[in-house]
Amino acid sequence: MSFVRRLSATATVAFLSLASVGAAQAADPVVVRAGYIPVLGAAQAFVIDSQGWDKQNGFDLQLKQFDSGPNMIQAVVSGTLDVYVAGIAPVIVARGKGIGVKVVAATAVEELVVAAGPELAKTPGSPAESIAALSKKLGRPLKLATQPAGSVPNTMLQYWLWEVAKVDKAHVELVPQGIDATQQALLAGAVDGAILREPALTIITGRNSDVKVLAYGGDILKNQPGNVVAVTDEFAAKHPEIVQKLVELTARATEVLKSDRKVAIDAVESAIGKGLIDRAILDKALSSKAVQFSTDPNAIVAQTATVQDYQVKLGTVKEAQPVADIFNLSYYQKAVAGK
């Protein structure tokens, strides 16, 4: 073989090798293992996934559903999740135990709604009076469904019951369970009330119009922190550029959720509807007073302190820590500055 032909062959092999490396890099985006709970407050993740924005930005957002935030935190602890999309209260608990995970963006505020079953809903009086009256009539404490201890629904239901509505603890029994179980229990009449998020509220009231709202999120705690995006310290250290993209895309998805109803419905249906929830129900749920999409984590810092202090009072957090340690605001600040 001549020198020129050998040189040409060598160049061809080198070119093919480089092309192969480039193709492999393009085909292998950074995997981002993200957990979520099936509520509209996680809808930004659904939009990012359904629109393919993750692949376009060099990562693969792999979503896995959980029935509560505390259960999802266990997956974070075990190292099987990089990103957590759920309520902030379990993150506070996790940080209090030294677990490396921080909030980088909000997704929604004032998501929670306290709903009364038919019999409680028709009992007159203030919430405290109606709960007391029905408890006396039934000869037992009223059963109120919520998520496990340490979750936002559990914490905020107790905050509303004992601190806002001033309900007598003797008149209430909390029934902690997963999101789907809570919905089914209220529909079946197995509980007297529940704390819910969308789309469960719209589904339940659509099937039983006698279920009524006792308190919306703002009645429980104004600007109450809802779902957040939290990232493990380990993942953030390895892939800060991916975390930055995730925050930027979360903000972008928030705007889409507010402006493009078709994309919003498509995204929610693909993640939690799965053909089982009518699109008209999802459309109505997205218009609910209980859905307020908001990405700025700065807006929930003060309320997070309130939530943490109450968790300390309940005993789910041993002692309060500096609230700033629960957040990494730099990603959002950079995202806003880049606009």
**What does the DSSP assignment read for 236-274?**
HHH-HHHHHHHHHHHHHHHHHHHH-HHHHHHHHIIIIIT
Residue predicted with more confidence, 19 or 215: 215
For residue 178, how far is the Cα from the chain centroid?
14
pLDDT score recorded for residue 26: 53
For the cut 50, the answer to whether the pLDDT of residue 6 exceeds it is: no
What architecture does CATH give domain 29-109+224-337?
Answer: 3-Layer(aba) Sandwich (3.40)
pLDDT score recorded for residue 274: 83
Q: What's the pLDDT tens digit per position in 60-91?
A: 999 999 999 999 999 999 999 999 999 999 99
For the cut 80, the answer to whether the pLDDT of residue 101 exceeds it is: yes
- CB-based burial label for 321 (10 Å; 0-12, 13-18, 19+): middle
* Mean pLDDT to the nearest integer, 307-318: 96
CB atoms within 10 A of CB 157: 25
pLDDT score recorded for residue 7: 43
Report yes or no on whether pTM surpasses 0.75: yes
For the cut 60, the answer to whether the pLDDT of residue 12 exceeds it is: no
Q: What are phi and psi of 246, to 5 degrees?
A: -60, -40
* Mean pLDDT to the nearest integer, 316-337: 95
pLDDT score recorded for residue 24: 42
Q: Quick check: do 29-109+224-337 and 113-220 share a fold?
A: yes
**pLDDT above 90 as % of the chain:** 89
CATH superfamily of 113-220: Periplasmic binding protein-like II (3.40.190.10)
CA distances from 198 to 6, 111, 119, 283, 294 (A): 67, 7, 22, 11, 15
Residue ranges of domains in the chain:
29-109+224-337, 113-220
